[in-house]
Protein backbone atom coordinates (compact mmCIF):
# COMPACT_ATOMS: atom_id res chain seq x y z
CA UNK A 1 0.00 0.00 0.00
CA UNK A 2 1.44 3.29 -1.10
CA UNK A 3 0.56 6.79 -0.11
CA UNK A 4 -2.59 7.96 1.65
CA UNK A 5 -5.31 5.69 2.95
CA UNK A 6 -7.90 8.43 2.73
CA UNK A 7 -7.01 10.35 -0.40
CA UNK A 8 -9.21 13.29 -1.11
CA UNK A 9 -10.02 13.77 2.54
CA UNK A 10 -8.03 16.50 4.22
CA UNK A 11 -7.90 17.41 7.87
CA UNK A 12 -11.40 18.08 9.19
CA UNK A 13 -11.86 21.72 10.15
CA UNK A 14 -14.36 23.66 12.17
CA UNK A 15 -16.55 25.69 9.87
CA UNK A 16 -19.48 26.59 12.09
CA UNK A 17 -23.17 25.59 12.15
CA UNK A 18 -24.07 27.21 8.86
CA UNK A 19 -21.57 25.17 6.84
CA UNK A 20 -23.07 22.78 4.34
CA UNK A 21 -19.83 20.87 3.91
CA UNK A 22 -20.35 17.31 5.08
CA UNK A 23 -16.74 16.74 6.10
CA UNK A 24 -16.44 19.67 8.47
CA UNK A 25 -17.17 20.34 12.13
CA UNK A 26 -20.18 22.53 12.66
CA UNK A 27 -20.14 22.56 16.47
CA UNK A 28 -16.86 21.05 17.65
CA UNK A 29 -14.13 23.68 17.71
CA UNK A 30 -11.17 22.05 19.44
CA UNK A 31 -9.43 25.18 20.68
CA UNK A 32 -12.53 27.17 21.61
CA UNK A 33 -12.96 27.73 25.30
CA UNK A 34 -16.27 26.79 26.89
CA UNK A 35 -16.90 27.00 30.62
CA UNK A 36 -13.24 27.73 31.28
CA UNK A 37 -11.73 24.86 29.32
CA UNK A 38 -10.92 24.17 25.69
CA UNK A 39 -13.37 21.87 23.98
CA UNK A 40 -10.65 19.34 23.24
CA UNK A 41 -9.82 19.20 26.95
CA UNK A 42 -13.42 18.62 27.95
CA UNK A 43 -13.73 15.72 25.54
CA UNK A 44 -10.34 14.11 24.96
CA UNK A 45 -11.93 12.25 22.03
CA UNK A 46 -10.56 8.86 21.12
CA UNK A 47 -10.92 6.59 18.09
CA UNK A 48 -11.70 2.93 18.89
CA UNK A 49 -9.40 0.81 16.76
CA UNK A 50 -11.62 -2.26 16.84
CA UNK A 51 -14.80 -0.74 15.45
CA UNK A 52 -13.12 1.60 13.01
CA UNK A 53 -10.45 -0.71 11.63
CA UNK A 54 -11.59 -4.23 12.48
CA UNK A 55 -15.34 -3.84 12.14
CA UNK A 56 -16.27 -6.15 9.28
CA UNK A 57 -19.98 -5.47 9.16
CA UNK A 58 -20.72 -9.10 10.09
CA UNK A 59 -23.65 -9.75 12.41
CA UNK A 60 -25.26 -12.96 13.72
CA UNK A 61 -27.13 -13.37 10.42
CA UNK A 62 -24.70 -11.92 7.95
CA UNK A 63 -21.14 -12.03 6.76
CA UNK A 64 -18.66 -9.23 6.13
CA UNK A 65 -19.83 -6.20 4.16
CA UNK A 66 -16.87 -3.88 4.56
CA UNK A 67 -13.93 -4.36 2.23
CA UNK A 68 -11.73 -1.31 2.82
CA UNK A 69 -9.29 -0.70 -0.01
CA UNK A 70 -6.25 -1.14 2.23
CA UNK A 71 -7.29 -4.59 3.45
CA UNK A 72 -5.80 -7.62 1.69
CA UNK A 73 -8.09 -10.20 3.24
CA UNK A 74 -5.44 -11.59 5.58
CA UNK A 75 -4.82 -11.31 9.29
CA UNK A 76 -1.06 -11.09 8.77
CA UNK A 77 1.44 -9.06 10.67
CA UNK A 78 2.12 -6.99 7.58
CA UNK A 79 -1.58 -6.25 7.28
CA UNK A 80 -1.67 -5.33 10.97
CA UNK A 81 1.03 -2.75 10.41
CA UNK A 82 -0.56 -1.30 7.34
CA UNK A 83 -3.82 -0.99 9.24
CA UNK A 84 -2.02 0.78 12.05
CA UNK A 85 -0.78 3.37 9.59
CA UNK A 86 -4.31 3.83 8.34
CA UNK A 87 -5.38 4.33 11.95
CA UNK A 88 -2.98 7.17 12.54
CA UNK A 89 -3.82 8.88 9.30
CA UNK A 90 -7.46 8.71 10.36
CA UNK A 91 -6.76 9.95 13.89
CA UNK A 92 -4.73 12.87 12.57
CA UNK A 93 -7.19 13.86 9.86
CA UNK A 94 -9.94 13.83 12.44
CA UNK A 95 -7.75 16.00 14.65
CA UNK A 96 -7.99 14.00 17.87
CA UNK A 97 -5.22 13.04 20.29
CA UNK A 98 -6.30 9.62 21.49
CA UNK A 99 -6.96 6.10 20.35
CA UNK A 100 -8.03 2.91 22.16
CA UNK A 101 -7.23 -0.72 21.39
CA UNK A 102 -7.51 -4.35 22.42
CA UNK A 103 -4.30 -6.34 22.20
CA UNK A 104 -5.73 -8.80 19.67
CA UNK A 105 -7.28 -6.29 17.31
CA UNK A 106 -4.01 -4.54 16.59
CA UNK A 107 -1.87 -7.66 16.19
CA UNK A 108 -2.68 -11.22 15.12
CA UNK A 109 -3.02 -14.04 17.60
CA UNK A 110 -0.09 -16.41 17.40
CA UNK A 111 0.00 -20.14 17.91
CA UNK A 112 1.41 -19.68 21.37
CA UNK A 113 1.40 -16.91 23.91
CA UNK A 114 5.04 -16.12 23.08
CA UNK A 115 4.18 -15.74 19.43
CA UNK A 116 1.15 -13.58 20.20
CA UNK A 117 3.28 -11.39 22.43
CA UNK A 118 5.96 -11.08 19.78
CA UNK A 119 3.37 -10.06 17.19
CA UNK A 120 2.01 -7.51 19.60
CA UNK A 121 5.45 -6.09 20.33
CA UNK A 122 6.16 -5.60 16.69
CA UNK A 123 2.95 -3.71 15.99
CA UNK A 124 3.20 -1.72 19.19
CA UNK A 125 6.69 -0.55 18.27
CA UNK A 126 5.31 0.81 15.03
CA UNK A 127 2.39 2.43 16.83
CA UNK A 128 4.79 4.11 19.24
CA UNK A 129 6.66 5.57 16.31
CA UNK A 130 3.50 6.67 14.48
CA UNK A 131 1.99 8.24 17.60
CA UNK A 132 4.51 11.04 17.62
CA UNK A 133 4.55 13.37 20.57
CA UNK A 134 0.91 14.30 20.87
CA UNK A 135 -1.07 11.16 20.28
CA UNK A 136 -1.34 8.36 22.82
CA UNK A 137 -3.79 5.70 23.92
CA UNK A 138 -6.70 6.92 25.98
CA UNK A 139 -6.63 3.33 27.12
CA UNK A 140 -5.62 -0.16 26.22
CA UNK A 141 -7.26 -3.43 27.08
CA UNK A 142 -7.01 -7.16 26.56
CA UNK A 143 -9.46 -8.99 24.36
CA UNK A 144 -10.63 -11.84 26.59
CA UNK A 145 -13.80 -12.87 24.79
CA UNK A 146 -13.20 -13.70 21.13
CA UNK A 147 -11.02 -16.79 21.44
CA UNK A 148 -12.79 -20.10 22.19
CA UNK A 149 -10.55 -20.65 25.21
CA UNK A 150 -12.51 -17.89 26.92
CA UNK A 151 -15.92 -19.37 26.21
CA UNK A 152 -16.59 -20.00 29.90
CA UNK A 153 -15.06 -16.69 30.97
CA UNK A 154 -11.52 -15.46 31.48
CA UNK A 155 -11.00 -14.61 35.16
CA UNK A 156 -14.29 -16.40 35.85
CA UNK A 157 -13.66 -19.43 33.67
CA UNK A 158 -14.35 -22.78 35.27
CA UNK A 159 -10.88 -23.79 34.02
CA UNK A 160 -7.84 -22.78 36.06
CA UNK A 161 -5.57 -22.80 33.00
CA UNK A 162 -7.79 -20.21 31.36
CA UNK A 163 -7.66 -18.01 34.44
CA UNK A 164 -3.88 -18.18 34.19
CA UNK A 165 -3.95 -17.44 30.48
CA UNK A 166 -6.10 -14.38 31.07
CA UNK A 167 -3.70 -13.15 33.72
CA UNK A 168 -0.77 -13.53 31.34
CA UNK A 169 -2.62 -11.70 28.61
CA UNK A 170 -3.67 -8.84 30.88
CA UNK A 171 -0.13 -8.57 32.21
CA UNK A 172 1.16 -8.05 28.70
CA UNK A 173 -1.63 -5.66 27.75
CA UNK A 174 -0.88 -3.46 30.76
CA UNK A 175 2.77 -3.48 29.76
CA UNK A 176 2.17 -2.30 26.21
CA UNK A 177 -0.38 0.28 27.32
CA UNK A 178 2.23 1.60 29.72
CA UNK A 179 4.88 1.57 26.98
CA UNK A 180 2.65 3.56 24.63
CA UNK A 181 1.92 6.18 27.27
CA UNK A 182 -1.69 5.09 27.75
CA UNK A 183 -3.53 7.05 30.39
CA UNK A 184 -5.94 4.35 31.47
CA UNK A 185 -6.48 0.62 31.26
CA UNK A 186 -9.96 -0.86 30.85
CA UNK A 187 -11.50 -4.16 31.97
CA UNK A 188 -14.55 -5.17 30.00
CA UNK A 189 -15.42 -8.66 31.04
CA UNK A 190 -16.95 -9.87 27.81
CA UNK A 191 -17.31 -13.43 29.04
CA UNK A 192 -17.30 -12.76 32.79
CA UNK A 193 -20.81 -13.86 33.59
CA UNK A 194 -23.02 -16.87 33.15
CA UNK A 195 -25.32 -18.40 30.57
CA UNK A 196 -27.28 -20.44 33.07
CA UNK A 197 -27.27 -20.59 36.84
CA UNK A 198 -27.97 -24.33 36.64
CA UNK A 199 -24.38 -25.14 35.74
CA UNK A 200 -22.67 -22.19 37.45
CA UNK A 201 -21.05 -21.62 40.84
CA UNK A 202 -21.53 -17.87 40.91
CA UNK A 203 -19.86 -17.32 44.26
CA UNK A 204 -16.69 -19.11 43.24
CA UNK A 205 -16.56 -17.25 39.93
CA UNK A 206 -16.94 -13.86 41.61
CA UNK A 207 -14.29 -14.70 44.16
CA UNK A 208 -11.94 -15.56 41.31
CA UNK A 209 -12.73 -12.27 39.64
CA UNK A 210 -11.88 -10.43 42.85
CA UNK A 211 -8.54 -12.23 43.08
CA UNK A 212 -7.84 -11.48 39.45
CA UNK A 213 -8.35 -7.74 39.87
CA UNK A 214 -6.23 -7.75 43.02
CA UNK A 215 -3.48 -9.42 41.00
CA UNK A 216 -3.75 -6.84 38.24
CA UNK A 217 -3.51 -3.99 40.75
CA UNK A 218 -0.41 -5.53 42.29
CA UNK A 219 1.23 -5.90 38.91
CA UNK A 220 0.35 -2.38 37.82
CA UNK A 221 2.00 -0.99 40.93
CA UNK A 222 5.02 -3.20 40.50
CA UNK A 223 5.78 -1.86 37.04
CA UNK A 224 4.95 1.72 37.91
CA UNK A 225 1.98 2.11 35.63
CA UNK A 226 0.03 5.07 36.95
CA UNK A 227 -2.88 4.98 34.53
CA UNK A 228 -6.35 4.54 35.96
CA UNK A 229 -7.92 1.10 36.01
CA UNK A 230 -11.47 1.20 34.70
CA UNK A 231 -14.29 -1.33 34.82
CA UNK A 232 -16.81 -1.08 32.01
CA UNK A 233 -20.22 -2.22 33.20
CA UNK A 234 -22.50 -4.08 30.83
CA UNK A 235 -25.58 -6.03 31.87
CA UNK A 236 -25.61 -8.87 29.38
CA UNK A 237 -24.48 -9.94 25.94
CA UNK A 238 -22.66 -12.08 25.10
CA UNK A 239 -23.63 -13.85 28.35
CA UNK A 240 -27.09 -13.91 29.87
CA UNK A 241 -25.78 -12.09 32.92
CA UNK A 242 -22.51 -10.16 33.01
CA UNK A 243 -21.04 -9.76 36.47
CA UNK A 244 -20.33 -6.04 35.94
CA UNK A 245 -24.05 -5.49 35.28
CA UNK A 246 -24.19 -1.73 35.91
CA UNK A 247 -22.45 1.02 37.88
CA UNK A 248 -24.06 0.10 41.22
CA UNK A 249 -23.28 -3.61 40.81
CA UNK A 250 -19.67 -2.81 39.95
CA UNK A 251 -19.40 -0.56 43.00
CA UNK A 252 -20.78 -3.33 45.22
CA UNK A 253 -18.21 -5.71 43.81
CA UNK A 254 -15.33 -3.26 44.22
CA UNK A 255 -16.32 -2.59 47.82
CA UNK A 256 -16.62 -6.27 48.68
CA UNK A 257 -13.18 -7.09 47.31
CA UNK A 258 -11.46 -4.01 48.72
CA UNK A 259 -10.86 -2.45 45.31
CA UNK A 260 -12.88 0.75 45.42
CA UNK A 261 -9.79 2.93 45.71
CA UNK A 262 -8.12 1.25 42.76
CA UNK A 263 -10.79 1.44 40.06
CA UNK A 264 -13.06 3.90 38.32
CA UNK A 265 -15.83 3.17 35.83
CA UNK A 266 -16.02 3.51 32.08
CA UNK A 267 -19.68 4.29 31.41
CA UNK A 268 -21.08 3.34 28.02
CA UNK A 269 -24.45 4.79 27.08
CA UNK A 270 -25.61 1.72 25.19
CA UNK A 271 -24.70 -0.52 28.12
CA UNK A 272 -26.55 1.85 30.45
CA UNK A 273 -29.81 1.57 28.55
CA UNK A 274 -29.49 -2.21 28.21
CA UNK A 275 -29.34 -2.38 32.00
CA UNK A 276 -32.62 -0.50 32.32
CA UNK A 277 -31.09 2.86 33.20
CA UNK A 278 -30.69 6.10 31.32
CA UNK A 279 -27.13 6.94 30.38
CA UNK A 280 -27.44 10.00 32.58
CA UNK A 281 -28.35 7.79 35.53
CA UNK A 282 -25.26 5.65 35.14
CA UNK A 283 -23.01 8.69 34.80
CA UNK A 284 -24.53 10.28 37.88
CA UNK A 285 -24.27 7.06 39.87
CA UNK A 286 -20.59 6.87 39.01
CA UNK A 287 -20.06 10.59 39.65
CA UNK A 288 -21.63 10.75 43.10
CA UNK A 289 -19.63 7.71 44.12
CA UNK A 290 -16.42 9.34 42.93
CA UNK A 291 -15.75 6.78 40.20
CA UNK A 292 -16.68 8.47 36.94
CA UNK A 293 -13.57 7.73 34.91
CA UNK A 294 -14.40 7.58 31.21
CA UNK A 295 -17.27 7.73 28.75
CA UNK A 296 -17.81 5.32 25.88
CA UNK A 297 -19.68 7.73 23.68
CA UNK A 298 -22.30 5.80 21.81
CA UNK A 299 -25.96 5.03 21.89
CA UNK A 300 -28.31 2.12 21.49
CA UNK A 301 -31.70 2.03 19.90
CA UNK A 302 -34.58 2.45 22.35
CA UNK A 303 -36.46 -0.43 20.71
CA UNK A 304 -33.55 -2.86 20.50
CA UNK A 305 -32.43 -5.29 23.19
CA UNK A 306 -28.82 -5.75 22.19
CA UNK A 307 -25.72 -3.62 21.91
CA UNK A 308 -25.93 -1.65 18.68
CA UNK A 309 -23.00 0.69 19.43
CA UNK A 310 -24.34 3.51 17.28
CA UNK A 311 -22.81 6.95 17.09
CA UNK A 312 -24.79 9.24 19.37
CA UNK A 313 -26.64 11.98 17.48
CA UNK A 314 -29.33 12.81 20.01
CA UNK A 315 -28.62 16.31 21.28
CA UNK A 316 -30.82 15.98 24.35
CA UNK A 317 -28.93 12.87 25.43
CA UNK A 318 -25.59 14.54 24.67
CA UNK A 319 -26.60 17.50 26.83
CA UNK A 320 -27.41 15.23 29.76
CA UNK A 321 -24.09 13.40 29.38
CA UNK A 322 -22.28 16.72 29.47
CA UNK A 323 -24.25 17.87 32.52
CA UNK A 324 -22.65 15.01 34.43
CA UNK A 325 -19.20 15.59 32.99
CA UNK A 326 -19.27 19.30 33.76
CA UNK A 327 -20.46 18.63 37.31
CA UNK A 328 -17.58 16.18 37.58
CA UNK A 329 -15.16 18.99 36.68
CA UNK A 330 -14.20 17.12 33.53
CA UNK A 331 -13.31 13.55 32.81
CA UNK A 332 -9.49 13.55 32.60
CA UNK A 333 -7.44 11.40 32.68
CA UNK A 334 -10.36 9.64 30.98
CA UNK A 335 -12.03 10.93 27.88
CA UNK A 336 -14.70 10.17 25.30
CA UNK A 337 -13.97 7.03 23.37
CA UNK A 338 -16.12 6.37 20.32
CA UNK A 339 -17.06 2.79 21.09
CA UNK A 340 -19.34 3.07 18.11
CA UNK A 341 -19.46 1.43 14.74
CA UNK A 342 -20.77 2.14 11.31
CA UNK A 343 -24.00 0.39 10.48
CA UNK A 344 -23.46 -2.83 8.55
CA UNK A 345 -24.90 -1.17 5.47
CA UNK A 346 -22.58 1.85 5.57
CA UNK A 347 -19.76 0.81 3.30
CA UNK A 348 -18.08 3.96 2.03
CA UNK A 349 -14.70 4.92 3.47
CA UNK A 350 -16.15 8.40 3.81
CA UNK A 351 -18.81 7.04 6.19
CA UNK A 352 -16.08 6.52 8.82
CA UNK A 353 -15.44 10.25 8.84
CA UNK A 354 -19.10 11.23 8.67
CA UNK A 355 -19.91 9.08 11.68
CA UNK A 356 -17.11 10.45 13.85
CA UNK A 357 -17.77 14.06 12.84
CA UNK A 358 -21.44 13.62 13.59
CA UNK A 359 -20.67 12.08 16.97
CA UNK A 360 -18.20 14.82 17.89
CA UNK A 361 -20.49 17.60 16.77
CA UNK A 362 -23.35 16.12 18.78
CA UNK A 363 -21.23 15.99 21.93
CA UNK A 364 -20.06 19.54 21.23
CA UNK A 365 -23.66 20.71 21.00
CA UNK A 366 -24.23 18.99 24.33
CA UNK A 367 -21.43 20.98 25.93
CA UNK A 368 -22.62 24.24 24.40
CA UNK A 369 -26.12 23.54 25.71
CA UNK A 370 -24.80 22.92 29.21
CA UNK A 371 -23.01 26.25 29.02
CA UNK A 372 -26.34 27.86 28.13
CA UNK A 373 -28.07 26.12 31.03
CA UNK A 374 -25.39 27.26 33.44
CA UNK A 375 -25.46 30.82 32.15
CA UNK A 376 -29.23 30.91 32.40
CA UNK A 377 -29.05 29.50 35.90
CA UNK A 378 -32.73 28.72 36.34
CA UNK A 379 -32.44 24.93 36.26
CA UNK A 380 -29.74 24.91 38.93
CA UNK A 381 -31.80 27.31 41.01
CA UNK A 382 -34.89 25.14 40.71
CA UNK A 383 -32.99 22.18 42.13
CA UNK A 384 -31.29 24.18 44.86
CA UNK A 385 -34.59 25.60 46.07
CA UNK A 386 -36.20 22.19 46.10
CA UNK A 387 -33.96 21.04 48.92
CA UNK A 388 -33.69 24.31 50.81
CA UNK A 389 -35.47 22.98 53.89
CA UNK A 390 -32.29 21.00 54.54
CA UNK A 391 -30.15 24.16 54.28
CA UNK A 392 -31.14 25.01 57.84
CA UNK A 393 -29.70 24.32 61.25
CA UNK A 394 -31.86 21.30 61.90
CA UNK A 395 -31.22 20.18 58.32
CA UNK A 396 -27.49 20.29 58.85
CA UNK A 397 -27.83 18.29 62.04
CA UNK A 398 -29.92 15.65 60.34
CA UNK A 399 -27.40 15.45 57.52
CA UNK A 400 -24.64 15.04 60.09
CA UNK A 401 -26.47 12.13 61.71
CA UNK A 402 -27.05 13.94 64.97
CA UNK A 403 -30.82 13.73 65.22
CA UNK A 404 -32.43 10.55 66.49
CA UNK A 405 -35.90 9.18 65.70
CA UNK A 406 -37.34 10.25 69.02
CA UNK A 407 -36.37 13.86 68.42
CA UNK A 408 -37.78 13.70 64.93
CA UNK A 409 -41.05 12.35 66.27
CA UNK A 410 -41.26 15.25 68.69
CA UNK A 411 -40.69 17.67 65.84
CA UNK A 412 -43.54 16.13 63.89
CA UNK A 413 -45.90 16.48 66.83
CA UNK A 414 -44.83 20.10 67.06
CA UNK A 415 -44.93 20.93 63.34
CA UNK A 416 -48.04 19.02 62.23
CA UNK A 417 -48.73 18.02 58.67
CA UNK A 418 -45.88 19.01 56.30
CA UNK A 419 -46.52 21.27 53.33
CA UNK A 420 -45.22 19.71 50.15
CA UNK A 421 -44.63 21.94 47.10
CA UNK A 422 -44.77 21.02 43.41
CA UNK A 423 -41.71 19.23 42.01
CA UNK A 424 -41.91 21.41 38.87
CA UNK A 425 -40.77 18.61 36.56
CA UNK A 426 -42.50 20.10 33.52
CA UNK A 427 -40.81 23.44 34.21
CA UNK A 428 -37.44 21.68 34.47
CA UNK A 429 -38.13 19.96 31.14
CA UNK A 430 -39.17 23.26 29.55
CA UNK A 431 -35.95 24.94 30.69
CA UNK A 432 -33.88 22.00 29.48
CA UNK A 433 -35.59 21.91 26.09
CA UNK A 434 -35.10 25.65 25.66
CA UNK A 435 -31.34 25.21 25.93
CA UNK A 436 -31.17 22.72 23.07
Beta strands, E only, 147-303: 184-187, 193-194, 228-231, 241-242, 263-268, 292-296
Contact 165, 157 (CB under 8 A): no
Q: Is 65 or 131 the residue whose CB approaches a second copy more closely?
A: 65
Which listed residue (1, 35, 125, 236) binds a second copy by CB under 8 A?
236
Q: Determine which residue in the list 125, 206, 371, 374 makes contact with a second copy, applying CB under 8 A.
A: 206
Residue of 170, 321, 364, 435 interacting with a second copy (CB under 8 A)? 170
Do residues 70 and 113 touch, judged by C-beta distance below 8 A? no
Distance in Å, CB of 129 to a second copy, minimum? 27
Evaluate whether 250 touches 265 at the Cβ level (below 8 Å): yes
Q: Of the listed 102, 152, 178, 356, which one is catalytic?
A: 102
User: Least CB distance from residue 361 to a second copy, whole Å?
Assistant: 8
Non-local (6+) Cβ contacts of 163 within 8 A are 154, 155, 157, 208, 212
In the complex, minimum distance from the CB of residue 133 to a second copy, in angstroms, rounded to a whole number: 31
Site string for a second copy, 35-74 (x = CB under 8 A): ----------------------x-xxxxxxx---------
**Closest CB 177 distance from a second copy, rounded Å:** 14
CB of 131 to a second copy, least distance (A): 26
Quick one: DSSP state of residue 121?
Answer: H
Interacting residues with a second copy between 381 and 400 (CB under 8 A): 382-383, 386-387, 389-390, 392, 394-395, 398-399
Q: How distant, in Å, are the alpha carbons of 21, 140, 418 from that of 356? A: 15, 20, 52
Identify the residue among 306, 333, 371, 374 touching a second copy (CB under 8 A).
306
Q: Which is nearer to a second copy, 42 or 338 (CB)?
A: 338
Cβ closest to a second copy, residue 131 vs residue 236: 236
Residue closer to a second copy, measured from CB, 13 or 38: 13
The answer to whether 239 and 152 have CB atoms below 8 angstroms apart is no
Piece in contact with a second copy (CB under 8 A), picked from 73-81, 124-132, 268-276, 331-339: 268-276
Binding residues for a second copy restricted to 93-132, rule: CB under 8 A: 112-114
252-256-260 Cα angle (round to 5) = 70
Task: Please check whether residue 93 is in contact with residue 10, taking contact to mean a CB–CB distance below 8 angstroms.
Answer: yes
C-alpha distances out from residue 259 to 215, 262, 263, 284, 376, Å: 11, 5, 7, 20, 40
Q: Single out the segment in contact with a second copy by CB under 8 A; choices: 79-87, 92-100, 263-271, 407-415.
A: 407-415
Which of 32, 122, 351, 371 lies at the binding interface for a second copy (CB under 8 A)?
A: 351
Asked if residues 102 and 120 have their Cβ atoms less than 8 Å apart, the reply is no
Task: Pick one of 76, 252, 372, 381: the residue that binds a second copy (CB under 8 A).
Answer: 252
**Alpha-carbon distance values, 392 to 383, 387, 388, 396, 407 (Å):** 16, 10, 8, 6, 16
Scan residues 150-169 and list those touching a second copy (CB under 8 A): 150-152, 157-165, 167-168
Active site residue 281: no
- Nearest CA to 265 out of 289, 235, 242, 239 is that of 289
Q: Which is nearer to a second copy, 80 or 135 (CB)?
A: 80
DSSP state of 132: T
**Using the rule CB under 8 A, is 11 a contact of a second copy?**
no
Helix (H, G, I), strand (E, B), or coil: what is residue 47?
strand
Which active-site residues does the annotation give? 102
Amino acid sequence: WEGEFFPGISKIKYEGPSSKKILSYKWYNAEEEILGKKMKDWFRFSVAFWHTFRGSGADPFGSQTKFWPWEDGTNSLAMAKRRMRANFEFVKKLGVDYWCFHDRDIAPDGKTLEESNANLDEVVALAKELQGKKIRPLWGTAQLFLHPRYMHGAATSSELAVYAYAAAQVKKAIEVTHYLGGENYVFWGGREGYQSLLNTDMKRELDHLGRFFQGAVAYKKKIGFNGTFLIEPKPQEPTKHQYDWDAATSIAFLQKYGLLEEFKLNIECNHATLSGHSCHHELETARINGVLGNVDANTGDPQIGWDTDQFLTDIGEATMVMLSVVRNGGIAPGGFNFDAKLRRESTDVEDLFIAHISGMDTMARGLRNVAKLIEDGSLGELVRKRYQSFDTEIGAEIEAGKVDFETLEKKVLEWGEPKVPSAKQELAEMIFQSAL
